[in-house]
Structure 1
């Protein structure tokens, strides 16, 4: 078969299948590689074996070689341990961002080079283009509904120079149509959702295996106890489901939303109203920022941002600190901006980079009233 110049990350899904199909149709010498990123403990359905079989079937249909690599130890050390530590600290991490940076565009890229390839390719919906100045730009996909540049914002110049995104100029509907017309066995396969290592199992049950949580009080921002939670780790800002708060005497018959977590004292704060003032902020600070081009466009500039995937562009102003962190001020109030999630910055379709959200200027509920177990105030 000869040496493949590009190794395609074959996930067993329709997107990676069509990515391989398109590259092969262009005359590119390719091979596939299936990554095992999670050593499943048997407690759920991560679909890894089904995905592996589908990846093999697609490569057989295309007549290309497929390689297999086990990156589960890297995933555990570089992604999952961070995932757990963030939840333990009361934050809500985004493991897909870390998985792309630490596994798919690091260990996968290294494995492809060990196989003699120059490039890797994936089924991500994104584009790469060279700027007039010479540096590579990460662009949103043509299909904005499927665009995944948010999850790829930690990539740098060396990674982009070695990566191809064959689906960046396609609509998802056209991807499925091409897969069907080409007889690919994954043409009608349902897209995977959520985090692979959790799969179809219950999130609370899964997280509880690694972070045993203790029940605690649910309070209003004024300190009124109105219920009990199974563990603050299981909730994120703005969440409505799973609170199990019925009618509360003295309060309106309206939904309750998580507005804050006190991990140290194991208290969950909730309020009524989807746009509760406790959930609203206009500014945030971040940890160290990563820039796709290698440096920020300026130390003080206007752009748009997303604080979560699928959010519409939000105009903002960014100030870059001497230590690499960011101070961001939005033009309008934002709801449920969540520490631990990624702030990703854009100039039109160009992804500039991003950083992990550290804190916001949303108001904080009152301190938890002392209990009999608390030491008296000094």
Structure 2
């Protein structure tokens, strides 16, 4: 009897090819479509209906069974409530990180185990290995441009051990070529962008539905008022677009960037120039730590870290590490380190874990 694996299928080409590869390897594959958002079922922004139809069409070609599960209640409780609370506190959260830890590798994993599965699988670009102590390790994907280990750093051993990543050694063009070769109907479907529950819509308009506007002053570090903001929650550190400042009398032509938020006075601090000192930071502190191995890394070794997804690795060292706090010092200043985002630590190809930037 073949081993059962439940594949999280989104309607996209990555999870479709993942399911195909597992079937080729002899697994008993069940596809499961996760519906995580109910609030906009009947609007143009919600693509869940079309995505599920795409999953059904793929399953028909692959010859596998598909079921749908609704995790909207779990998503609202575990991910969306945190998302709103963080924005209200002036931070910039990453809901995709939490969605992986709480929905795709917890609610979905629990559901798969209840179905008798030995493994779960996703279309994530990430790898998996085993360390000298026999623990599961999270590795970077072969496709450095698509590697998603950053978004998976909050997994623990119980979540990572039963997970399979069939796309670990494939590049995106190869995945599309496989899909085209076997006749998958979504072979050319474009990748989804943006936060899953917001989709392609205007972010500010979406947030306004849940959090009230609180306009205030935009000021330079010297205290000069240069404009009005619509609410600190709508802005993130390093943001350049949408500030509406324009030309200022006596100011240079360099672009303006968000440098800080003063929650006490409801002030948005803005500076001119990409390389302004207030946008550069050589140290950071993080909390809400998670170490994939279940044990903290050796503080006396050098590592690399990312403070945002698309960033190249930055060499760093640990200056403080305890149960609740990680402090890092970087060899070179990091740009626009943003509270609420994640700092993720790497040892070569292995993703060790990380925490939420304070």
TM-score bracket relative to the smaller structure: over 0.9
Q: Which residue of 1 aligns with 2:7?
A: 8
Name the count of aligned residue pairs. Answer: 357
Provide the residue aligned with 1:175 in structure 2.
Answer: 175
Which residue does the alignment assign to 1:119? 119
Aligned partners of 1:105 and 1:159 also within 8 Å: yes
Superposed CA RMSD in Å reads 1.3
- Between stretches 245-254 and 147-156, larger displacement belongs to 245-254
Aligned match of 2:26: 27
**SS at 2:209's partner residue?**
helix
Taking the aligned partners of 2:6 and 2:95, their CA distance within structure 1 comes to 24
CA contact (8 A) 1:44 1:199 kept: no
Work out whether 1:309 is the aligned partner of 2:309.
Answer: yes
Q: TM-score, normalised by structure 1?
A: 0.92
Preserved CA contact (<8 Å) 2:179 2:187: yes
SS in 2 for 1:288: strand
Q: Deviations over 1:51-97 (max 9, x none)?
A: 11101111111111111110000000100000000000100000000
Could you tell which deviates more after superposition, 302-311 or 43-52?
43-52
The 5 Å alignment of 1:17-96 reads 17-41=16-40, 42=42, 44-96=44-96
Q: CA deviation at 1:325?
A: 1.1
Counterpart position of 2:153: 153
**Range with bigger deviation, 295-304 or 40-49:** 40-49
CA distance in 2, matches of 1:338, 1:34: 33
> What's the offset of the Cα at 1:320?
4.4
| Contact 2:2-2:26 within 8 A present in 1 as well | no
Match of 2:185 in 1: 185
Partner of 1:274: 274
CA drift at 1:200: 1.4
CA distance in 2, matches of 1:44, 1:323: 45
Residues 316 and 331 in structure 2, CA contact (< 8 A), matched pair in contact too? yes
Tell me the CA shift for residue 3 of structure 1: 8.2
Q: Which has the larger radius of gyration?
A: 1
What is the rounded CA distance, in whole Å, between the counterparts of 1:4 and 1:69 in structure 2?
22
- TM-score normalised by length of structure 2: 0.97
Q: Secondary structure at the match of 2:265?
A: coil
Paired residue secondary structure (2:301): strand
Point out where structure 1 has 5 or more consecutive residues left out of the alignment.
359-378
* Change over 3 Å in CA distance of 1:43–1:151 after alignment to 2: same
Q: Give the aligned partner of residue 231 of structure 1.
A: 231
SS of equivalent to 1:352: strand
The equivalent of 2:194 in structure 1 is: 194
* CA distance in structure 2 between the partners assigned to 1:214 and 1:351 by the alignment: 39
